[in-house]
Each structure stands twice: as structure tokens, then as C-alpha cells.
């Protein structure tokens, strides 16, 4: 059992020479070349903390069975049986990509299985996979809407195969099928779904290419799936096809372009701004990173570096969310970051996390983990309820408690007609362990602070790093080093941007003031200097079993200002503590939350509340507000409580705001 990243790098070592020859004119570059860092696979990581471990358990016990049940109730599974001719009926549901929901839950269930054996779930997957396999057509085609009725009424399907790739999602279905198949194979060693995926991918190889159909998927993800399929099979034709789909984008020779909505407005190596549908975009950027990692294509790396720069300087919400607009589920213009109408699809947060992790592995720079961490604890995590069975599709940073931003509701919903977000959460959470550690040669990287352990396997040794911490509520992190035998190596401990006075790696956000408290690092009780390289404090020495690294990241409450070019945040301030972004809710502060004034003189302090929202550190104190009496308004003081943004909307729909006015004279504070 090994994760994608581990396999990819091994495959690269075996095949890079032949691959480079086959793909032709691929520049070999130093910076950004493949395999710079390898993630420690999640199967070698134990998560045993008080923050994530309960969420993984909820995902396993609640979310996976809940979502499979929803798929059964809504016909998403029966569609496979109807397509196989085992049941009679029409396609159930309105969207041609409903097939992907079971695929994505299989992927999540597989990750979960490899962390936690579960014979009942294993058996359920076997039966479900048999149903999926039976729906596959003879030549490998798998798309239940068309197989059930080639002339059927399924939206966007197109009159014949591949005839409406802009919207049909035929290739999107394939991409999620491959990701599920690879995960299931890795978790169980069973080829049942992998063989279905290979048969389907062979059909795509036979159908698409320079001298065959020259078209691209309207919704990317097949590129990621093909790269994974290449990872487990070592068959270069899948990687070549992934690269073909990417290279074909934005090239008008022989077909009409789909435009910026599908990032099909210009060739990917010429793109420099994040545009269009945010999930399509972040999946595509992740796919570009995968193909770049495997081929060493420097132009690919330059393109995603440019686009990343655009996102972190102009299009990233404080929560790590991306995709400002409901219309088109899309990125907005530069600095277009509205709060109440922010779309910030949960899927886009996941795509953004996947992309940043891949960039980290390419460049070895902690700034990408800074963005990833911001997404994990904030923009992504808000997408699922503490109970594991309710979800946000959009994730705004402000609510009046009435606007039904969440597909007809002002709070989380159990399911949606298009249920991409719930089924993305269920597969992303159990893959979390794979983001915590990485290795490059004899340097072991600690990216994220999660109690538990990671096992590294450098040449001729095995090293376990055990973390003991109450992060994200406490900034004390103890790392116990356990090499199988003493050895010289380097441990790179990430010093988060927020602890260095830099909320994001750009000037989009800044802290009101730098903390006076200094980050400290000790080895076996003795202070060591912070030898910083790309955001990591490096400690090189001869390590022996039982050595202890102690990191202290001071966690004062930090007040954040936004770049003035973001209209919605002018004159406002947000609160952070450690990696957590805070918000104020009506249930704690009364109505008119958005008029509370966090002026520089207000006094606030953190307080851990074990009894609230599964255990959270809240921010308490008083703020200024305007008291209205008949025709007059008077300045007043009032009690204040802010909670972590991820935990909002658990106590009924109501007002919420991340950004609050910071001047009593702020006109909106007075008149809203
Ligand atoms: Zn979604």
C-alpha cells in the first residue's frame, strides 16, 4: 500500500529517461523538477490528536455510510444496475455526473479502509464495484446516462459519445473513476475497480489524441486520474493522454474553444491568471503539477507558479477559499472578494489544497503549506458539520441569516441535487495524513502540527517522528525523534507564516502589528537558532532515539487587515489565533453582528471552551457598537464572543461576520 505521491516518484525513477524521450522537447530544469520532495504516505502517518482524529472517525462512522445511503436513495447506484440491464427504468437524477458521487465515496472509503480495517465496508465496496463493472459497455465506455438510453433526456449528455465534451462530463466521470480505482487497489490489493478503470482509460487512449479526436473535457479531473493510473500501472500511454488533454486546452486548431469558464481560452503555458470555474481550474492546476512532476516540464511549472502568484496576491479569501462568484461558480476579477456573496465552493477549497500541496512537493517551500493550512482549518473545514452529515456548498464570510446562499438554505444541508461537495469532503478528510510530512534525501519535513506520528524511510534507516501537541489551540509542539539507529540527518520544521507575522505569502493580508513573542526552538532542552530555509527551521545533527525537538509558536490573538484594493474589507479587521480564522455569530452577540466595532482599544482574550462546538478556543471580551433609540444612535460597549469560522452555523441560521468595522465612525457600522 502506498499513496499516489510515493508511487509517482518511484515510477519516475524507473521510467523518466524513456518518458522524456517519448514526450519529446521537454525541458529538463533544476527548479521545479520532479520528485524534489516526496510526501510521507498517509498509510505511514498516525493521526492521534484531539482535533483531527475525531473528525476522521466521524467521517468513517457517519459520513461514509450516510453518503452511500443517499446515493442509494437518489438512484445514483441503481443507475448502474439499470445500465447493466439488471433493472428496468430510466436514468434517475438530472445530472450526467451523478456516477461520480459513488466513485468519490469509494475513494474516501478506500483511504479509510487502509487506516482502519472494516470487513463490512470492504464487502459493501466489493458488491458496489460489481454493480459498476456490470454497467460498463463492452469497449470500456462507462456513463450510465447514455448506456441506459442513448436518446435519453439527461441534461448535457450530447447526441452521441464525446459530442458535447464541454458539458457532458463523460471525461470527468472517468477521472473520478480512476482516482477511486487507484485508491481501492492501494487499500485492498484488489484489482476489481482498477480493471474497470484501465478498460475505460484504454478506450480514451484509443479515442483521443493528435490524430484522433482532438478535444478536451469541459470539466477537468481526468488529467489527475490518468496521472494516478500511470502511477500504479507504469503505462506511459496514460500519462501521454493526460499531457495531451492539457496541451490541447486553449488551442483553436480544429475546434471551437470553450473559453475562460473552462480555462480553455489560451494554451495553459500562456495562462497567468486564475479564471473561470474554480473547481475546474484548481483540478487543472493540480493536474499540470502532476504532469510537470513526472515529465520535468519547466513551462508547465512556470505557468502554475504565475497563476498561483495571481491567486495569493489577488484572489484568495482569508479562509483559504477561492472562487468569489456564484455566477459560473467562478473566480472573480483581481481583488473581487465580496464577503456575503462569496461562493467559495467546498470543492474549490479541496482543489486549492491539492494544488498547493503539489506545488510544495515541486518547490519545497513552506509558503504553499501556509496556504494549505489556512484552507484546512478554515475554508475547507467549514464545509462539513461537526456531526458529519450536513454540508456547505458555498462558504461565505458573512451572512444576514436570511440569504439562502447554500442552494436554497441559509445553513448546512444534508445533500444537494449536485452533491459534489459532500462527496469531496468524504474522500479528502481520510487523505489528510498524506499532507503532514515529506522527505527529500536526508531531510525530513514536518509540514503540519498534528499529534501522532510519521514514519520516514530514508536509505538504510527508518525514522519515526512522534508529535505531541494540542495544536491548533496551543502552540507548544514536541517532536520525539526515533531513528532505528542513530544517524546524521536534517529535520525541517515548518515555522508557519502566521507565526512570522505573515498571514499569507503576499500583501493581500497583513497583521495590525507584529507579535513581540518570538518563536523558539529547542533540542533536548537547549535553545537552537532558527536556521531558516524556505519557511523551514532546519536542524541537522546526529540524531539518536529519544531526542526531543520542542517548538513554541506563540498564539496571541492577531488582528488582520486586508489590502485596500479589496472594496468589501476597507475599514475592517478580522481576528486570527494560530491557524484559525474567527467569526462573530448572532447566537453569541445578538443581532446586528455586522455593526460590532473592533476598534484598536477593545480588549479581547482567548478562552478554551471544552463544552462548546466539540471543544473550541473562543475569543471573548467587549467591543464597541451603536445603540439605537428611536431616531438617535449612541456609541456603546457590549460583550463579545468570536468562534472559529469553521464551526459557524451549528446553532441555527443567523448573522455571521468574519470582517468587522474597526472604526466607530465607520459609516456602515452606524447606519446598516
Ligand atoms: Zn462541490
Q: How far is the CA of 346 from the centre of ligand 1 (A)?
A: 6
Q: Which residues of 288-311 are buried (b: 16+ CB within 10 A; e: fewer)?
A: bbbbbbbbbbbebbbbbbebbebb
Q: In the structure grid, which three cell numbers stand for residue 406, read together?
A: 447554500
Ligand 1 centre to CA of 419 (Å) is 7
Q: How far is the CA of 379 from the centre of ligand 1 (A)?
A: 13
Instruction: Summarize pLDDT for 600-659 with one digit per residue, the tens.
Output: 999 999 999 999 999 999 999 999 988 777 777 778 899 999 999 999 999 999 999 999
d(CA 137, CA 192): 16
Three-state DSSP state, 330:
strand
- Enumerate residues 6+ apart whose C-beta is below 8 A from 432: 42, 47, 52, 56, 376, 450
Residues 100 and 423: beta-carbon distance below 8 Å: yes
Contact predicate 174/204, CB 8 Å:
yes
d(CA 347, ligand 1 centre) in Å:
4
Cell numbers for 220, please give them.
Answer: 477537468
How many Å apart are CA 233 and CA 501, to the nearest integer?
Answer: 45
For residue 69, report the distance from its CA to the centre of ligand 1, in Å: 19
Cα–Cα distance between 587 and 607 in angstroms, integer? 18
Mean pLDDT of the chain: 93
Q: What is the distance between the alpha carbons of residues 628 and 625, in angstroms, rounded to a whole number?
A: 10
HEC letters along 139-202: CCCCCHHHHHCCCCCCCCCCCCCCCCHHHHCHHHHHHHHHHHHHHHHHHHCCCHHHHHHHHHHH
Tell me the residue length of the chain.
672
- Ligand 1 centre to CA of 17 (Å) is 38
Tell me how far the alpha carbon of residue 349 lies from the centroid of ligand 1, in angstroms.
Answer: 9
308 CA distance to ligand 1 middle (Å) = 21
Cβ count within 10 A of residue 220 = 29
Q: Which residue has the cell 489524441?
A: 209
Q: Residue 467: enclosing H or E segment and its boundaries?
A: strand 463-469
pLDDT for 632: 78
Q: How many angstroms separate the alpha carbon of residue 444 from the centre of ligand 1?
A: 34
Q: What is the pLDDT of residue 72?
A: 98
Output the CA 416–ligand 1 centroid distance in Å. Answer: 10
- Distance (angstroms) between ligand 1 centre and the Cα of 588 equals 30
Compute, in angstroms, the gap from residue 353 CA to the centroid of ligand 1. 14
CA of 350 to the centre of ligand 1 (A): 9
CA dist 373 and 314 (Å) reads 18
In this predicted structure, the answer to whether residue 2 has a pLDDT above a threshold of 50 is no
**531 CA → ligand 1 middle, Å:** 41
Ligand 1 centre to CA of 327 (Å) is 14
Cα 589 to ligand 1 centroid, rounded to whole Å: 31
Distance 425 CA to ligand 1 centre (A): 9
User: Strand, helix or coil at 259?
Assistant: strand
Q: Is the model's pLDDT at 672 over the cut of 70?
A: no
pLDDT at 548 over 80: yes
From the CA of 489, how far away is ligand 1's center (Å)?
Answer: 42
* Tens digit of each residue's pLDDT (9 = 90 or more) over 425-445: 999 999 999 999 999 999 999
Rounded distance between C-alpha atoms, residue 157 and residue 160, angstroms? 8
pLDDT confidence tier of residue 36, bands split at 50, 70 and 90? confident
270: which DSSP letter? G
**Ligand 1 center–CA 553 separation, angstroms:** 34
C-alpha 209 to ligand 1 mean position (Å): 29
How many CB atoms lie under 10 A from the CB of residue 391?
26
Q: Which residue has the cell 518518458?
A: 19
pLDDT at residue 26 is higher than 60: no
Mean pLDDT of 322-333: 98
Interval between CA 374 and ligand 1 midpoint (Å):
19
Of residues 321 and 515, more confidence is placed in 321
Q: In what order do the strands lie in the sheet with 476-483?
A: 45-47, 452-456, 463-469, 476-483, 547-552, 520-523, 526-527
Amino acid at each position: 500500500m502506498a499513496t499516489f505521491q510515493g508511487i509517482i516518484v518511484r515510477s519516475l525513477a524507473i521510467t523518466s529517461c524513456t518518458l522524456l524521450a517519448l514526450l519529446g522537447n521537454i525541458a529538463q530544469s533544476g527548479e521545479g523538477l520532479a520528485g524534489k520532495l516526496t510526501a510521507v504516505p498517509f498509510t505511514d502517518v498516525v493521526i492521534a490528536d484531539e482535533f483531527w482524529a475525531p473528525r476522521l472517525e466521524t467521517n468513517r462512522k457517519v459520513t461514509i455510510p450516510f453518503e452511500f445511503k443517499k446515493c442509494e436513495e437518489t438512484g445514483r447506484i441503481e443507475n448502474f444496475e439499470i445500465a447493466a440491464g439488471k433493472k428496468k427504468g430510466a436514468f434517475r437524477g438530472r445530472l450526467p455526473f451523478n456516477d461520480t458521487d459513488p466513485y468519490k465515496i469509494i475513494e474516501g472509503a478506500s483511504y479509510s479502509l487502509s487506516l482502519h480495517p472494516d470487513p463490512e465496508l470492504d464487502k459493501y465496496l466489493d458488491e458496489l464495484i460489481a454493480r459498476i463493472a456490470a454497467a460498463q459497455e463492452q469497449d470500456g465506455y462507462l456513463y450510465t446516462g447514455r448506456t441506459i438510453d442513448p436518446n435519453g433526456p439527461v441534461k448535457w449528455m450530447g447526441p452521441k459519445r464525446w459530442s458535447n465534451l464541454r458539458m457532458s462530463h463523460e471525461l470527468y466521470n472517468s477521472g473520478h473513476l480512476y482516482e477511486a480505482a487507484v485508491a481501492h487497489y492501494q487499500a485492498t490489493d484488489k484489482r476489481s475497480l482498477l480493471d474497470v478503470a484501465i478498460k475505460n482509460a484504454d478506450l480514451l487512449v484509443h479515442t483521443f489524441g493528435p490524430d484522433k479526436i482532438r478535444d478536451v473535457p469541459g470539466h477537468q479531473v481526468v488529467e489527475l486520474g490518468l496521472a494516478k493510473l500511470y502511477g500504479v500501472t507504469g503505462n506511459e500511454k496514460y500519462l501521454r493522454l493526460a499531457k495531451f488533454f492539457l496541451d490541447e486546452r486553449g488551442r483553436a486548431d480544429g475546434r471551437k474553444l470553450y473559453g475562460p469558464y473552462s480555462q480553455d481560452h489560451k494554451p495553459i503555458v500562456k495562462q497567468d491568471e486564475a479564471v473561470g470555474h474554480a473547481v475546474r481550474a484548481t483540478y487543472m492546476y493540480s493536474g499540470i503539477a502532476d504532469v510537470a512532476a513526472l515529465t520535468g516540464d519547466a513551462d508547465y511549472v512556470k505557468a502554475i507558479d504565475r497563476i498561483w502568484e495571481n491567486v495569493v496576491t489577488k484572489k484568495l479569501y482569508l479562509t483559504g477559499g477561492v472562487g468569489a462568484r456564484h455566477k459560473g461558480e467562478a473566480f472573480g476579477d483581481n481583488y473581487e472578494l465580496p464577503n456575503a456573496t462569496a461562493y467559495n465552493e467546498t470543492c474549490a477549497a479541496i482543489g486549492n489544497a491539492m494544488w498547493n500541496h503539489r506545488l510544495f512537493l515541486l518547490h519545497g517551500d513552506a509558503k504553499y503549506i501556509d496556504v494549505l493550512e489556512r484552507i484546512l482549518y478554515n475554508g475547507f473545514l467549514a464545509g462539513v458539520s461537526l456531526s458529519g452529515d450536513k454540508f456547505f456548498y458555498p462558504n461565505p464570510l458573512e451572512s444576514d441569516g436570511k440569504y439562502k446562499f447554500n442552494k436554497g438554505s441559509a445553513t448546512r444541508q444534508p445533500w444537494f441535487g449536485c452533491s459534489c461537495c459532500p462527496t469531496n469532503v468524504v474522500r479528502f478528510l481520510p487523505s489528510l495524513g498524506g499532507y503532514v510530512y515529506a522527505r527529500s534525501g536526508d531531510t525530513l519535513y514536518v509540514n503540519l502540527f498534528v499529534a501522532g506520528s510519521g514514519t520516514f524511510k530514508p536509505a538504510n534507516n527508518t525514522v519515526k517522528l512522534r508529535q505531541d501537541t494540542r495544536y491548533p489551540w496551543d502552540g507548544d509542539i514536541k517532536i520525539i525523534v526515533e531513528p532505528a539507529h542513530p544517524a546524521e540527518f536534517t529535520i525541517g520544521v515548518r515555522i508557519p507564516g502566521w507565526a512570522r507575522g505573515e498571514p499569507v505569502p503576499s500583501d493581500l493580508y497583513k497583521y495590525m502589528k507584529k507579535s513581540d513573542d518570538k518563536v523558539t526552538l529547542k533540542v533536548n532542552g537547549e535553545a537552537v537558532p532558527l536556521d531558516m530555509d524556505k519557511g523551514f527551521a532546519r536542524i541537522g545533527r546526529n540524531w539518536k532515539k529519544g531526542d526531543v525537538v520542542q517548538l513554541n509558536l506563540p498564539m496571541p490573538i492577531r488582528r488582520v487587515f486586508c489590502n485596500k484594493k479589496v472594496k468589501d474589507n476597507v475599514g475592517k479587521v478580522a481576528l486570527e489565533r494560530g491557524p484559525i480564522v474567527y467569526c462573530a455569530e448572532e447566537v453569541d452577540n445578538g443581532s446586528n453582528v455586522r455593526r460590532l466595532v473592533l476598534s484598536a482599544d477593545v480588549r479581547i482574550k482567548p478562552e478554551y471552551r471544552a463544552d462548546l462546538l466539540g471543544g473550541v478556543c473562543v475569543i471573548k471580551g467587549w467591543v464597541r457598537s451603536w445603540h439605537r433609540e428611536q431616531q438617535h444612535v449612541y456609541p456603546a460597549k457590549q460583550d463579545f464572543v468570536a468562534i472559529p469560522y469553521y464551526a459557524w452555523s451549528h446553532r441555527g441560521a443567523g448573522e455571521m461576520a468574519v470582517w468587522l468595522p474597526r472604526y466607530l465612525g465607520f459609516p456602515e457600522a452606524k447606519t446598516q
